[in-house]
């Protein structure tokens, strides 16, 4: 990121080079394992990335909020007291959702000029949206001196903004990883109690490689909300035998015994994914603590299989990338990451196999799909912060 260039763009947009804006950064995240478990009260294991969203922000005296981005042409200006309705498909819904939360909480706002700039791919399952929400929430609390807000409040607020304003019934994983991320660590989170532990994730001799399918995620939000509803249906069936409010409340052994209670085969598979994935996260954390990276990789592979066959959120491009990756000697584990329906895969690859991996997987993927995949090396990084 070229900070001087970013500042110059800010001055071109908003004028007056005499008053310097402050700069904030929120990372994106990659989820290592524990997919579609968060809204079921389960376990997840994400880490924050070195990529994310930068925000330059400066107060104005006009009681206006002005939102612009170096990545998108769409801009929004509105008075602080009147947040406009959401505009379908526009990035501005994420900061607007945060302003809406501030108004709902009756926190007095003043005017701000804001310029966002992301180096993380959008709609790729790496939480570009949570990163925009969290950078906005964090920057506002600093700029407004809102001392009553802790990091966990910002995380909860960003989740509410996404659920209420944007309309995605997501869980808390993304905001939590963006807020609590730590360099060299993954975040092992219990989404029911919000208790978490940092688990060291330093890969000696291996790389964490993220691959973007570059497939547009059409209808992803409605499909996501459909999965959330299917899990609720599974809870309703199981509830007749065991009083539960979330799928994560039963173990895989229990589920095995009572699964026939769910008459609908599709709903049973959805539940099977969530409950088995929850167990995989626990096993993956024990594997990491023992330094057993091979076992960790095997669990990643099993996670993908379940997301493909039971939860049905992968699709041709993600399956192809994972299949091609798994063919290569030196690949320890490969799976889709994030919501699915397009987006990215996450892979653990031996250092000496990285070049062949990028070359071969890229070539085969292009031959089978006509798309060009992008490769990134992921580094577990710190959470949201001001950059001075």
Nearest Cα neighbor of 159 from 189, 183, 182 is: 189
Q: Which is nearer to ligand GLA, 38 or 249 (CB)?
A: 38
Distance CA 189, CA 198 (A): 9
- CA–CA–CA angle 272, 277, 283 (5° rounding): 135
> CB of residue 349 vs ligand GLA: minimum separation in angstroms?
22
Cβ atoms within 10 A of the Cβ of 362, count? 17
> CB of residue 270 vs ligand GLA: minimum separation in angstroms?
13
> CB of residue 224 vs ligand GLA: minimum separation in angstroms?
7
Q: At what angle do helices 220-238 and 265-290 cross, to 10 degrees?
A: 100
Cβ atoms within 10 A of the Cβ of 183, count? 14
Q: Which is nearer to ligand GLA, 228 or 258 (CB)?
A: 228
State yes or no: is 174 an active-site residue.
Answer: yes
The separation between CA 149 and the C-alpha centre of its own chain, rounded to angstroms, equals 22
Contact indicator for 371, 211 with CB cutoff of 8 Å:
no
> CB of residue 378 vs ligand GLA: minimum separation in angstroms?
15
Contact indicator for 120, 9 with CB cutoff of 8 Å:
no
Nearest Cα neighbor of 323 from 349, 304, 339, 306 is: 304
Contact indicator for 271, 255 with CB cutoff of 8 Å:
yes
Q: Which is nearer to ligand GLA, 35 or 249 (CB)?
A: 35
Among residues 174, 184, 292, 355, the one annotated as catalytic is: 174
Q: Which is nearer to ligand GLA, 21 or 46 (CB)?
A: 46
Q: Which is nearer to ligand GLA, 21 or 342 (CB)?
A: 342
Which residues bind to ligand GLA, rule: CB under 6 A?
31, 35-36, 38-39, 170-171, 173-174, 338-339
> CB of residue 167 vs ligand GLA: minimum separation in angstroms?
12
Catalytic residues: 174
């Amino acid at each position: 990121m070229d900070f001087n260039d970013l500042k110059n763009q800010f001055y071109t947009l908003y004028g007056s080079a005499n008053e310097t804006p402050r700069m904030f950064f929120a990372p994106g995240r990659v989820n290592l394992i524990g997919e579609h478990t968060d809204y079921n009260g389960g376990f997840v294991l994400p880490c924050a990335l070195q990529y994310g969203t930068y925000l330059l922000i400066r107060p104005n005296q006009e009681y206006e909020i002005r939102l612009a981005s170096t990545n998108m042409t769409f801009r929004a200006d509105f008075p602080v007291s009147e947040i406009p309705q959401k505009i379908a498909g526009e990035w501005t819904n994420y900061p607007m959702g945060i302003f809406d939360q501030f108004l709902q909480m009756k926190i007095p706002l003043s005017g701000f000029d804001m310029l966002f700039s992301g180096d993380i791919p959008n709609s790729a399952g790496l939480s570009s949206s949570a990163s925009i929400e969290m950078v906005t929430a964090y920057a506002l609390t600093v700029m407004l001196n809102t001392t009553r807000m802790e990091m966990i409040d910002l995380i909860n607020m960003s989740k509410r903004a996404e659920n209420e304003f944007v309309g995605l019934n997501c869980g808390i994983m993304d905001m939590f990883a963006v807020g609590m991320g730590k360099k060299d660590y993954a975040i092992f989170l219990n989404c029911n109690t919000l208790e978490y532990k940092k688990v060291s994730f330093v890969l000696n001799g291996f790389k964490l490689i993220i691959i973007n399918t570059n497939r547009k995620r059409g209808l992803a939000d409605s499909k996501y909300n459909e999965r959330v509803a299917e899990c609720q249906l599974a809870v309703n069936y199981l509830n007749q035998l065991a009083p539960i409010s979330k799928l994560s409340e039963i173990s895989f052994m229990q589920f095995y015994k009572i699964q026939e209670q769910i008459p609908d085969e599709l709903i049973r598979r959805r539940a099977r994914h969530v409950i088995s994935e929850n167990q995989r996260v626990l096993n993956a954390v024990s594997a990491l603590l023992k330094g057993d990276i091979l076992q960790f990789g095997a669990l990643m592979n099993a996670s993908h299989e379940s997301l493909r066959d039971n939860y049905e959120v992968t699709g041709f491009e993600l399956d192809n990338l994972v299949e091609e990756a798994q063919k290569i000697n030196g690949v320890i584990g490969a799976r889709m990451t994030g919501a699915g329906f397009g987006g990215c895969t996450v892979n653990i690859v031996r250092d000496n196999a990285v070049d062949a991996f990028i070359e071969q997987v890229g070539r085969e993927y292009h031959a089978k799909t006509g798309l060009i995949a992008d490769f990134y090396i992921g580094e577990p990084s710190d959470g949201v912060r001001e950059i001075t």
